[in-house]
Structure 1
Amino acid sequence: MKEVWVFNGAEGRFPSAVFLELGGAEEWIKNNGLSGVLTKYPVGISVYDWAVKNGHFCIKSEKEKFSVFIQKFSSAAQEHFHFESGSSE
C-alpha cells in the first residue's frame, strides 16, 4: 500500500506539507524549527476504512457509521511523531 507523511503544524487547521519519504519530512521540520505532528497516511483508502480493515477500530454502534463520525475520524494506530521546535525528542 502506498503511504505518505502529512505534517500538521501546531495550531494549524490544515496540513502544511505532504511527503513521500519520512527522511525528507523530518529534515524539512528540523530545518524550519517546526512544532506539530507528522503522521503516516495510507493513499487510496480513508483512515476510517484502513483502521477497520486492519483491526485497529471496531465499529461498536450505528453512530460510528455516520458521516459526522467518519469525517472527523483519526487513528492512534497510524505511525506518527510529535515535534517541538524541530525536534522529536
Structure 2
Amino acid sequence: MRVFLGEDARWPAGVFRTQERAESWIRAGKLAGMLTEHPLDTGVYAWAIEQGHFRPRAAHQQTPSFVGRFTTAYQEHFHHIEGDPDRSARIKDLVTGSRDAATHRFHHRLPGHDEVGGLLL
C-alpha cells in the first residue's frame, strides 16, 4: 500500500494499492509531497523492529506517543515536486547493499527527516 502525504500536510491525501496509480494521480495534480510504501496489518514501529531497522534504546522510544508517530526512512518512499519524482532527485530508500553512506547521510538531512531516519510529521 502506498500513502501520499502532501507537502506540509498533517493527514494523508491519498492511499493507493499500486505505485502506478499513485504516481498517475500525483502527476495529474502536479502535487508536491511524499509517497511512502506502508506494511499492511501491522504498524511501522513493529515492522521496523521485525525487519531489524530499529531497536528501542531509551524508555521514551517505547511510549504510545513515540510508537504512534514513528516512521522510518527504511520504508520505500519517493519525494515529488510538481508531480514529478525526478525533479526532486528521486530518492528511493531501498535497503540494499548498493546504497552508500554518503547517500544515506544526504537523504536524512532533507527536510522532514529526523536524526534516526524517521520522517517528521
| Runs of at least 5 residues in structure 2 that lack an aligned partner in the other structure | 87-121
Secondary structure in 1 matching 2:23: helix
Q: TM-score, normalised by structure 1?
A: 0.94
Aligned to 2:77: 80
Secondary structure in 2 matching 1:30: helix
Q: Percent identity?
A: 37
Q: CA RMSD in A?
A: 0.6
Equivalent position amino acid for 1:42 in 2: P
- State how far apart, in whole Å, the 2-side matches of 1:11 and 1:76 are: 18
Aligned to 1:58: 55
Aligned to 2:4: 7
Aligned to 2:29: 32
1:45 lines up with 2:42 in the alignment: yes
Deviations 1:47-71 (A, max 9, x none): 0000000001011112111111111
> Which one has a larger percent strand, Structure 1 or Structure 2?
1
- State how far apart, in whole Å, the 2-side matches of 1:88 and 1:54 are: 26
| Runs of at least 5 residues in structure 1 that lack an aligned partner in the other structure | none
1:18 lines up with 2:24 in the alignment: no
Secondary structure in 1 matching 2:38: strand
Equivalent position amino acid for 1:66 in 2: T
Q: TM-score, normalised by structure 2?
A: 0.69
Deviations 1:26-84 (A, max 9, x none): 01101110000000001100000000000010111121111111111111100000000
Count of residue pairs the alignment pairs up = 86
